[in-house]
Amino acid sequence: MIPPADQWGPFTDGLDDPERVARCRCLRAVVHLTTGPRGETATRLLHAAERDPDALPEAARALNALDACDKRHVWASYAKLAAPERTTR
């Protein structure tokens, strides 16, 4: 089970499979690019979660285990990518 505070991105309850896969891939890319080898466990588990949603809790724990600075970079980058686009008129 994923605690309510960790229910964001691919960890959100009720996602259909294509959306979960897309969010896992996006987050995996962010983790890889911002943490490099320090995030290897999280990227591996996010990759596993693309195929098996039962891997999501372990992936969430791996993300939470990252250094605080790495987590901030991951969260900020993912939030920017996942935010709805604003239209200016």
pLDDT in tens, 26-81: 999 999 999 999 999 999 999 999 999 999 999 999 999 999 999 999 999 999 99
| 62 in a structural domain | yes
Q: Classify residue 9: in a domain, yes or no.
A: no
The pTM is what?
0.88
- 71: in domain: yes
The number of residues in the chain equals: 89
What is the predicted pLDDT for the residue at 16?
94
The answer to the question of residue 89 being in a domain is no
Total domain count, the chain: 1
45 within a domain of the structure (yes/no):
yes
Residue 49 lies in a domain: yes
Angle subtended by helix axes 56-64 and 68-82, to nearest 10: 120
3-state secondary structure 17-40: HHHHHHHHHHHHHHHHHHHHHHHH
Residue 8 contacts residue 15 (beta carbons within 8 Å): no
Euclidean distance between CA atoms 47 and 5, whole angstroms:
22
- Within a 10 A sphere around the Cβ of 18, how many other Cβ atoms? 8
Q: Residue 31 is part of which domain span?
A: 15-79
